[in-house]
């Protein structure tokens, strides 16, 4: 606690408490407070992890919405195809009935 910038043994990541308390420890340069550095890195790491989770969630959500839209579109196309097929079937039946009437079958 002499307010001097000292080198501490590099074998340990944190300086020993006997050398100086964590609040007064400096890292690398004399102006870089070790405690503030730890807190800042933890906050930045947390923000990055949360951002990754949000991106993954949004991507999964967008894929689901896109697949639902595609599914709905395909269902509508299938219904339209069936309706056209039924119309053609009805027209064919009508033509066949006319032919039967014409030839008395």
Structure tokens at 35: 């405690």
To the question of pTM greater than 0.75 for the whole model, the response is no
DSSP one-letter string for 22-43 = GGG-B-SSTT-BHHHHHHHHHH
Band the pLDDT of 24: cuts 50, 70, 90. Answer: confident
pLDDT per residue as tens digits for the range 46-81? 999 999 999 988 888 777 676 777 888 889 999 999
Q: How many CA atoms lie within 13 A of 15 on its CB side?
A: 20
Q: In sequence order, what are the beta bridge partners of 33?
A: 26
């Amino acid at each position: 606690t002499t307010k001097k910038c000292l080198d501490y043994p590099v074998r340990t990541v944190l300086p020993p408490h006997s050398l100086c308390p964590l609040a007064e420890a400096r890292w690398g340069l004399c102006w870089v407070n070790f405690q503030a550095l730890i807190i800042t890195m933890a906050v930045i790491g947390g923000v990055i992890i949360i951002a990754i989770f949000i991106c993954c969630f949004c991507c999964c959500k967008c894929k689901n919405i896109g697949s639902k839209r595609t599914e709905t579109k395909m269902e509508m196309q299938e219904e339209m195809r069936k309706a056209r097929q039924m119309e053609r079937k009805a027209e064919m039946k009508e033509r066949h009935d006319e032919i039967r009437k014409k030839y008395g079958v």
